[in-house]
Structure 1
Amino acid sequence: MYQVVWFKRDLRTVAHRALAEAALRGPIVPLYILEPALWQQPDVSARHWRVLKPCLHDLDATLAASGVRLLIRQGDAVPVLTALRQQIGPFTLWSHEETGTLWTYARDRAVLSWCRAEGIAWHELPQTGVVRRLRSRAGWADAWDRRMAEALPLPPVLLPHGLSLTSDPLPDTLGTPLGPAHGTGEQPGDRATALKLLESFAQRRAARYAKGLSSPLTATQACSRLSPALALGTLSMPEAVQRLRRAQADWANSPLPAAERRAMTLGLKACLSRLAWHCHFIQKLEDEPDIEVRCLHPAFEGVRGHDPARMTAWAAGETGIPFVDACMRALVATGWINFRMRAMLASFAAYQLWQDWRAPAQHLARCFIDYEPGIHYPQVQMQSGTTGINTLRIYNPVKQGMDHDPEGVFIRKWLPELAALPTPLLHEPWKAETPLLRAAGVRLDGSYPRPIVDHEAAARFARDTLWRLRRGEAFRTTAAAVVEKHGSRKDRRPRTRVASGGAQRDLFEGT
C-alpha cells in the first residue's frame, strides 16, 4: 500500500518522524497541498509565500535525490485527497500534529472525518514538545525534556512509488501584499540557512545573546534567528535543542578563557530556555484553539474598541512616536524584529492606542516571517493584558527608545525624515522648538506626524481601567481557572524549565 506523507509546516526530510515511519511501510508519495482558502485568511500575506516557496523547491530537490518527487496539488484538502485516492487507490496518510489557526484546525477535522468515512488510516506524529489531548500541565516540563532528548530518526530510505503523478504549478504570488516596496530584506527560511545559523550560534554568536537580544541595534546578530525555520519546519525543534545542549557541554569543558566560556554558556542556556517557552505557548493554543479570537479572560471582552485611523497610523509607522514608528517600519520592511520590540508594538496598540488586540494581532502576523500561531495569539494577549494572569506590561515607548537606541542610530535608519534632529530630541521631536525643527528640515504634521496620543496620559488611563476590571472575587476565580489550564508547574531541579503561569517571559518567536 502507498504511504502518503502530507507535508505541512515540516518542510524537511531529516529528523522527520512521520516520513521515517512511513518509509518503513511502503512506497512514499510526498504530498504538499496548496490551499487557496488558507492564503485568503487575514493573518496570511504574500510575504509568507515569498519565504515558503523556495523551501518547497528545496524539499522537492532533496526528495528527488532519493528517487521521489514532491507532489504539489492545489485545492481544498479533502477534494485533493479524494482525487489522489481515485488515482492511486487506498493509501495510508501520515503527517505531523499541527497546532495552527482555527482555519487549519477545522481543515484537519474535515480530513479526519473523510479518513474515517473512507477507511483511511491517518497517523499524526508530534514534532515539537506540544502534547495533544493534554489532561494537565503537571509534569509538562519533564515530558518536554524527554521528547527533546529522544534519538532523532535516521534519514529514511525512500521507495519510489513508480506512479505517473503530475504536480500543479506553484504561483508567483499568493496572499495579501504588504506593499510594493516591502520584502527586499526578508531572511530565507530554508534548511541550509537554518543549519548555518544554528552552527554559528552554537560556536560563537551565543556569547552576545543574553545581553544583545533586547535592542534592535544588536539583536539582528545576537539572536539565533532560527525562528523562521522552526515556524516552517525546515529545522526541527529536537534538532535545535540537541545541538545547543551539545554546545553547552563543549563550552563548559572548553580550555578557552573563563569569560568567553561564561558568555557562551549563559547565551546557550538562555536560548534553550526560550525554546522551552516556544512549546509552552503553543501548548496553550493546542489546549484552547479559540484563544485566537477570544480573550483568555472573558472580563476583557468589549473593553477596547477599533479606531481605523489609529490602526492605520500604527501599521504604517506613522504614530508620531519615533521609536514605535522605527520598529514598525523595520518590521514591515524586513519581516523580523526582536521580541522586546514586538512586545512593545503590541503593547502600544493595546494600551496607548486602546485598540482591541485582534486587529493588531492580524497585522503583526502578516508581517512576521516567523509567524507561529501558537506563540503569536497567546503572546499578543499577554502583551495586551487580556490573559487575566499576567501583570500588565505597559511599555513607555520613549524610555524604550532611550534605553535601546540611546544615540538614535536605529531611529535615523528607519525615520530618515528625523535624521538631522539632535539626539536628545530625536525620541521626542514634539518637544523641540520651531526654529530647531526648521533647521533640521522637520515639519510636524508635515514631514513627520505629531503624536496621535499623549502616550503617558493614555498609559495611565489604560492601567487604571484594566486594574479596576481585575478587582473582585469573580475575576480572581476565573483567573485561577486560566492558570490551572494553561500555567506550567514549577520545577526546582537544575534544568531548562518553564516557570509558573503568572510569570512574564520572553519567548523564541523573534529571538
Structure 2
Amino acid sequence: MMPDTAIAWFRRDLRTHDNEALAAAAAADRVLPVYCVDPRTHGMQPYGGADSFRYEKLGTRRVRFRRESLDGLRDRLRGLGSDLLVRRGRPEVVLPNLADAVGADVVTFHDLPGPDERAVRAAVTAALRERGVTPRRFWGRTLHHIADLPTPYTAISDTYTKFRKSIEADSAVRETYPRPSLAPIPGGDDTGVDADAIRPGSIPDVDVAVDSLGSPDAELGAGEDADEIDERAVHPFPGGEDAALDRLTSYIWEGGHLREYREARNGLVGPDYSSKFSPWLNEGNLSPRRVFEEVKRYERERVSNDSTYWLVSELRWRDFFQFQLAKHGAQFFAPGGLRRRHDVNWRWDEQEFERWRTGQTGIPFVDANVRELNATGYLSNRGRQNVASFLVNDLTIDWRRGAAYFETQLLDYDPASNYGNWAYIAGVGNDSRQRAFDVLAQAHQYDPKAEYVTRWIPELDGLVPQKAHEPWTLSESEQARYGVELGVDYPRPMIDPTTSGDDPV
C-alpha cells in the first residue's frame, strides 16, 4: 500500500539527482524533506576515549560549504514545489516527533559507513519503530552499490588492487535515478497539522552556541571568516548541487580537461590540474554515478584514454575506503590502524604539532601546503601526502592528530577517505610498504620554479627556486641581500631536511 506521508531525511546526500531515498519518498501522497543539524557533528568534541584529545569537528569553511549546500538543496526542492525543513537536534529525537506531528508513515534515508553515523541510524530506526513509523534505508554513497560487490562488504579484500580488479570484472555501475516529481509537504488544506511543525526553519549564517535541542532553527557555528575566499585559492568551491553540476560540465565538457587528467593531476596551482569534484561528492551535492555517466559519455563522444580510466579509478579508490570503513568500523580510527600495530611509539609533542599546524616547520614545501589548507580548506593530493608524511614519519606525531586536523579544515572531508589515507601514509592502514616521503625531493620535482612555495610563503618571494625550497642554505650575506633573516622572517627547519624519508613515488 502506498504510504500517505513520507519524510525524506537528508544526510550526506544534499542533492535531488540520483537520490534513491528521495525518489522512494516521492511515491507518497505528501513528502516532507528534512535535514537535522546534529549537535554531535560540530563544536569541540572528544576524539576517542577520555584519555584522548578534543578537537573542532566542523571548521569554518566546512560550515560555509554545508550552509551553501543546504541553501542550494532548499532552492532545488522549492523549484519542485516542495521545501526543506531544517531542524537542530538529534535525529532520533527530531524525526519521530516530526513523524507524529505530520502523521508520517515512513522515513526514507541513505545509510553511511562510519560507526558514528551507523549508530545514529540505529537509534533513529529504533525510535521510529516505537512510534509505528517504517524506516527505509538505501545506499547511495559510492559508485558501486554495496549490494553489487562480488562478495559481501565484510569479505572484500583489504588490498586496493585486488578490490579494483574484482569490481571491474564482476560489478556493474547502476544507472542514476532521475530527479523526482514531489508531492506537496503536509499542511495547507490538511487538518490536524500544526503550522509551526512544518515551518521551514532558518539555515545558519552566524556563530551561535548549541543549546536547546528541540529548536526549529538550525545553527552550525560558523566563524567570522567563513565566507572569505582567499584570492590565491585554486577554486572558490561554492556549495550546492547547482555548483556541483556546473563544475562537472565546465571541467569535462567546456574545458576538456578530462583528456589530460592523469598527466595533470599532480599539479599544485590552478583550478583545472585535477577535477576538484571531491567537496561536492563528499557533501553529497554530486553523485559519483553521475560523474561516471559523464565520463562514459565523454569516452563515446570525444576520447577514451588513460585519463578517463584514471578518473573512474579514483572513484573506485573512494569506494574502497567507504567499504573498508564499513567493514572495519572503529578499528579504522585506532592508533594501530587496520594492521593493529603496537610497535610504533607515536608522540604527542604539542609544540611541534603547533608548528606543523600553523605552517612554521621551516620546510617551505610543507609550510606552503599547510598554509593553503588553513586559508582555503583545500589541498592537492600531492600536498596532502607530503604534509601527512612529514608529521607522522619525520616528527612521529600521532597520525590521528593530523587526520583530526584535516577533519576540521578540509572542505571535502570524508571520514573514510581522510582517515584511510592518513593511516596509509602512517603505515598502519591498507599498505604494508613504507610510505615516508622525501619532502625536499618532492618539492623540487613538483614545484621546480618554486611558484607554489612563494605563492603561500611571501616572505620567500624573490629567492631563486633552489633557495626558496632550501632557505636554510642562505649565507648571512645572502640573507641580507634577499631580506630574509632565518629565525626571524622565516623559521629554521625543525629537522635536518636531508634526513626526510625515502621518496616512494
TM-score normalised per structure 1: 0.82
SS at match of 1:332: helix
The answer to whether the Cα contact below 8 Å between 2:14 and 2:73 also exists between their aligned partners in 1 is: yes
2:190 paired residue number: none
Cα distance, 1:367–1:189 mapped onto 2, change above 3 Å = same
- Distance change (3 Å), C-alpha of 1:168 and 1:224: same
Aligned to 1:30: 33
Distance 1:250 1:303 in 2: 54
- Measure the CA separation in 2 of the matches of 1:247 and 1:180: 36
Identity %: 26
Question: Contact conserved, 2:61 with 2:376, CA < 8 A, in 1?
Answer: no
Q: Which residue of 2 aligns with 1:190?
A: 240
Mapped partners of 1:458, 1:150: distance in 2: 45
Structure in which a larger fraction of residues adopt helix? 1
- CA distance in structure 2 between the aligned counterparts of 1:157 and 1:144, rounded to whole angstroms: 34
1:314-345 deviation per Cα after TM superposition (whole angstroms, max 9, x unaligned): 11111000011011111211111211211111
Summarize the Cα distance change of 1:20–1:147 in structure 2 as closer, same or farther, 3 Å threshold.
Answer: farther
Residue 183 of structure 1: how far off its partner (Å): 4.8
* Residue pair 1:324, 1:345 contacting (<8 A) in 2 also: yes
Tell me the equivalent position of 2:445.
403
Per-residue deviation, 1:167: 2.8
Counterpart CA distance in 1 for 2:30 and 2:222 is 38
Question: For residues 435-465 of structure 1, what are the alpha-carbon distances to aligned partners after superposition, in whole Å with 9 as ceiling and x for unaligned?
Answer: 10111111111110000112343648xx9xx
Report which structure shows greater RCO (CA 8 Å, sep ≥6). Answer: 1
Letter in 1 for 2:156: R
Which of 402, 418, 431 in structure 1 is aligned with 2:460? Answer: 418
Q: Whole-Å Cα distance in 2 between the matches of residues 338 and 379 of structure 1?
A: 13
Structure 2 distance, partners of 1:202, 1:305, is 44
1:224 lines up with 2:275 in the alignment: yes
Q: What is the match of residue 95 of structure 1?
A: 109
Unpaired runs of 5+ in structure 2? 46-54, 188-194, 208-219
CA contact (8 A) 1:357 1:380 kept: yes
Is 1:313 the counterpart of 2:327? The answer is no
| 1:35-434 paired onto structure 2 within 5 Å | 35-40=38-43, 41=45, 42=55, 43-100=57-114, 102-127=115-140, 128=142, 129=144, 131=146, 134-137=153-156, 149-163=173-187, 164=195, 165-172=198-205, 173=207, 174-175=220-221, 177=223, 183-184=229-230, 185=233, 186-203=236-253, 204-217=256-269, 220-252=271-303, 265-294=305-334, 295-300=337-342, 303-387=345-429, 389-434=431-476
* Contiguous gaps of at least 5 residues in structure 1: 253-263, 464-503, 506-511
Work out the CA distance in 1 between the residues paired with 2:172 and 2:12: 18
The answer to whether the 8 Å contact 2:31/2:186 transfers is no
SS of the aligned residue for 1:223 comes to coil
Q: 1:178 to 1:108 in 2, by over 3 A?
A: farther
SS for the counterpart of 1:54 is: helix
Q: CA deviation at 1:6?
A: 0.3
Q: Aligned partners of 2:263, 2:437: CA distance in 1, in Å?
A: 19
Query: What's the counterpart of residue 451 of structure 1?
Result: 493
Distance 1:301 1:84 in 2: 50
1:167-201 Cα distance to aligned partner (Å, 9 max, x none) = 33222243575978965444113222222221233
Change over 3 Å in CA distance of 1:180–1:301 after alignment to 2: farther
Tell me which amino acid in the other structure corresponds to 2:79. A
* Residue 247 of structure 1: how far off its partner (Å): 0.7
Deviation of 1:157 after TM superposition, in Å, equals 1.7
- What do you get for the CA RMSD once the two structures are aligned? 2.5
Number of residue equivalences: 450
Specify whether residues 339 and 291 from structure 1 end up closer, same or farther in structure 2 by C-alpha distance, changes over 3 A only. farther
User: Is it true that 1:16 corresponds to 2:19 in the alignment?
Assistant: yes
Report the AA paired with residue 75 of structure 1. G
Secondary structure at 1:296 match in 2:
helix
For residues 370-397 of structure 1, the C-alpha deviation after alignment (integer angstroms, 9 at most, x for no partner) is 1111111111000111127331111111
**Distance in 2, Cα, partners of 1:336 & 1:187:** 9
Q: SS of 2:435's equivalent?
A: coil
Task: Give how far 1:76 is off.
Answer: 1.1
The residue that corresponds to 2:9 in the other structure is 6
Deviation at 1:145, TM superposition (A): 8.0
Q: Is the 8 A contact 1:326 1:410 kept in 2?
A: yes
Alpha-carbon shift at residue 119 of structure 1 (Å): 2.8
Q: Equivalent residue of 2:425, what SS?
A: helix
Q: Normalising by the residue count of structure 2, what TM-score does the alignment of the two structures yield?
A: 0.83
CA contact under 8 A between 2:364 and 2:453: conserved in structure 1? yes
Give 3-state SS (helix, strand or coil) of 2:7's partner: strand
| 1:457–1:320 Cα change, 3 Å | same
Cα shift readout 1:288-330 (whole Å, capped 9, x = no counterpart): 1213421222224762111111111111111000011011111
CA distance in 1, matches of 2:327, 2:355: 35
